[in-house]
Amino acid sequence: MQTHRFIEWPTIALFSLAYLVWAGSVFWLAGGALWLAIPLAAVAIAFHGSLQHEAIHGHPTRWASLNTALAWPPLSVVIPYLRFRDTHLDHHRDAHLTDPYEDPETNFLDPECWAALPRPLRVLLKMNNTLLGRILLGPAIGTFCFLRNDWKNRESDARIRHGWIWHIPACIVVLSLVWTSPMPLWAYALSAYVALSLLRIRTFLEHQAHEQSRARSVIIEDRGPLALLFLNNNLHAVHHAHPQVAWYDLPALYGTHSERFLAMNGGYRFSSYGEVFRRYAIQRKDPVPHPLGVHRR
């Protein structure tokens, strides 16, 4: 099993590619083919989000400050990198996966909170638990909940204040660059939304409610374009078991020990994203209230 190398050049190359494609879409392609620039910029922003995930886990160098600098620009605008880092590392406390009060990335709710919601909101959240709903509605719902939670806890959590203080000037730089480019701000906002929609495909069923924490993370045995876009994080149980392993080593690690990983996660597996779309495009995979029940801490 490979762990951290001194410098992981494949990841450095992909950071360079993501920024080049982003800049080419915004500054060059948008001037003559906006219809193509919008989806291409969306792919670059989503790909950058996957690379930010690598940086959070100590890649592509052994210098945390350099990794942060590489991942810092908020191309999606709405998510501060430091907040992404803090909430994602909280999410990696596997004993708390899917817990509505302990896992900041879960989509489950406390059953008591669910029961108290007005019916229209419950309908919306049920739609969000289908794959098409997660793609179309997920970025808006997820961003609203994220911002609301940060605003509510801003006084009690210094990490929130720190993350947003450093995010604002970085966000101004990105938006200023877009302002001076041929791409209209509305088109860039659409690109950012599509990028978040693409990332919602990955996160849609990464985790299930299960009594055993080791059985909560999925394996999707996909090696196609989406696996590349997500930097093999579709092998999610492998990533949670070995978060220090670089994205390009995950397939070999899974290939060598697939039986062990599938035994560990109780066979929570899909053959491809095609299977995921066929099964859950318009059908809910999970209920919104946590099926095992939780209690407020």
Q: What pLDDT does 297 receive?
A: 55
Helix and strand totals (H; E) in the chain: 14, 2
- Where do the domains of the chain lie? 9-205
The single residue listed with the structure tokens 């101004």 is: 172
Q: What is the mean pLDDT of residues 12-28?
A: 98
Q: What is the mean pLDDT of residues 169-192?
A: 98
- Are the C-beta atoms of 31 and 182 separated by less than 8 Å? yes
- Are the C-beta atoms of 50 and 57 separated by less than 8 Å? no
Q: What is the mean pLDDT of residues 252-261?
A: 97
Q: What is the mean pLDDT of residues 28-33?
A: 96
HSE-CB for 147 with a 13 A CA cutoff: 9
In the predicted structure, residue 2 carries a pLDDT above the cut 90: no
In the predicted structure, residue 164 carries a pLDDT above the cut 70: yes
Q: What pLDDT does 4 receive?
A: 56
Q: What is the mean pLDDT of residues 226-244?
A: 98
- Cβ neighbors of 288 (< 8 A, separation 6 or more) are 107, 108, 109, 114, 122, 125, 126, 128, 129
Q: What is the mean pLDDT of residues 71-98?
A: 97
Q: What pLDDT does 3 receive?
A: 53
Q: What is the mean pLDDT of residues 143-172?
A: 96
In the predicted structure, residue 246 carries a pLDDT above the cut 70: yes
- Are the C-beta atoms of 240 and 189 separated by less than 8 Å? no
Q: What pLDDT does 295 receive?
A: 62
In the predicted structure, residue 218 carries a pLDDT above the cut 90: yes
| Mean pLDDT estimate for the chain | 96
Q: What is the mean pLDDT of residues 8-18?
A: 98
